[in-house]
Amino acid sequence: MLKRYSILAFVVISVEVMLLFLFRTPLKDVVRVPRTFEDIVYNTQVYAASVLPSLFSSSEVKTRVSKKQFVVKHTFLEQKLIVFGLVNIKEVDSSIAVNLKYATEDNFLHKNLYGELKNCYLQKDIAVKLAKAQADLKKKYPFYSLIIYDGVRPLSIQETMWNEVQVPEKLKDKYVSDPQVGSLHNFGCAVDVSIINENGWEMDMGTPYDYFGELGHPIAEQRMINEGKLSWRQFENRKLLRDIMTESGFTIISTEWWHFNGASLKEAGAKYHIVE
């Protein structure tokens, strides 16, 4: 009887030793304790002191699929414009081209005034009007597009322009609005635009953007044509731009073919705040 129990005890001990050998977990496999439920469900590492899960689990291991999150970064000036309630024109109509001249050195002051700002911001109702103008232009001429050279302009930058523009004092207000009076650009209610073709080439308007002189004045166009300084083709290009913009609710000014107002100064003052 004693011999029989001894054999049984030996068998039991042998089985336990075998189980311990089979199911032992090397120290290197005990990496860390999971901190979250997601760690337990999705991570492929073994956390317990047993390899049973890896022995009996499915051959297909669940892995966590991480999706890249793209965070839109705004410049300080852009954040300021958003706080004032203005919208990025690209979010209203992405087909409109943008080349902010005052965010480059290609302007009459030959300096970057907007820093890293590359997007054009306008009051939402003005942006909607501009999108309508773009749609009308595309309907008539699918190979043409509006291009924006300036939209909202903070008053502080308006003051810099006023102080540094190199023209006689009596002519200043023909090209730069007096910051003491304010400009519709300061409200985000004016836009400077032209037309480009499918290759990005600007239509010939007779002068470049921000040209200081009568040749850039819509009020002087007929005389410029008579004097041979403005061609009929250049005049027709300007007329197309004016027709598209005015039919969408914009108004023109007499001294800049590229400038269009989306509201009056009185309306803008009643509805919006000047962007400082």
> Smallest Cα–Cα separation from 117: which of 142, 135, 100, 97?
100
CB of 172 within 8 A of CB of 165? yes
Determine the distance from the C-alpha atom of residue 135 to the mean position of all C-alpha atoms in its chain, rounded to a whole number: 20
> Smallest Cα–Cα separation from 28: which of 8, 51, 11?
51
> How far is it, in rounded angstroms, from Cα 162 to Cα 179?
7
**Longest Cα separation, the chain:** 132
For the record, the structure tokens of 31 come out as 């990496």
Residue type, 155: L
For the record, the structure tokens of 258 come out as 């590229």
Residues forming the active site = 256
> Residues with Cβ < 8 Å from 162, sequence gap 6 or more?
172, 176, 177, 178, 179
> How far is it, in rounded angstroms, from Cα 219 to Cα 257?
9
Instruction: Give the number of other Cβ atoms within 10 Å of residue 206's Cβ.
Output: 19
For the record, the structure tokens of 207 come out as 């002068």
β-partners of residue 121 are: 88
Neighbour order of strands in the sheet with 251-252: 97-98, 145-150, 190-196, 259-261, 251-252
